[in-house]
Structure 1
């Protein structure tokens, strides 16, 4: 007699992304950020997916490598920084590649999702809940929810929302900062 067991299917978010960054590429991203280039310009110059650029920028922002910009990921005015300060900032990137010739942002995060988590996420996304609320409800790190958003949008399972990541909790200022040029 065989017994069938119900097993929840697992899905790995962003499995088709290249997470490896060389020191040279990371320095270029820092230069491009301060020059005011958009993520689309950076992606074209670095021959990378825009979403890969976004993940590195989020990681650098968390590590206080990059400052916020008035128009976020869009094109911005150049950020003034002294040549010495910029050189020091780029030299400090060596700490990211101490143990390896490449750096992998968010290597400690969980990219594995159960079917029920994905279904619940999609329901909350459709309800215009914020990424903050979703992460609390799913008991997941906000970065992990961001990865799932990028993954699900890339696969066409969710659509962009008028109020972006913050959903119904977004302020007018938030909407201006996250607006992407298309």
Structure 2
């Protein structure tokens, strides 16, 4: 990660976003089930008590780790 001074002409990604960074094992298992069932990120967020931004990041994390597979409609589900 790069430490950068904040300048007027820069943008810090997700600087003010409400992100859930930590997930326990049961949440990950449920996330994977919902993903396989075709739930949208909004539906998954509601089920897990989170928000769609956090779920989108979790999707990227789990895909990067090869824990979930791509879906025909991606984050939109069925």
TM-score computed with the length of structure 1 as normaliser: 0.37
Give runs of aligned pairs for residues 34-49 of structure 1, distance below 5 A.
none
Partner of 2:8: 94
Aligned residues: 77
2:58 to 144, 148, 155: 148
**Structure 1 residue 105 corresponds to structure 2 residue 14:** yes
User: Is the alpha carbon distance of 1:20 and 1:167 closer, same or farther for their aligned partners in structure 2, counting shifts above 3 Å?
Assistant: farther
Residues in 1 aligned to 2:61 and 2:3: alpha-carbon distance in whole angstroms: 17
Partner SS, residue 23 of structure 2: strand
The alignment yields a C-alpha RMSD, in angstroms, of 2.7
1:160 to 37, 57, 70: 70
Higher Rg = 1
Partner SS, residue 39 of structure 2: coil
1:134 to 20, 44, 50: 44
Residues in 2 aligned to 1:19 and 1:122: alpha-carbon distance in whole angstroms: 31
TM-score computed with the length of structure 2 as normaliser: 0.81
Structure holding more strand per residue: 1
Which stretches in structure 1 are left out of the alignment for 5+ residues?
1-17, 24-92, 98-102, 169-182
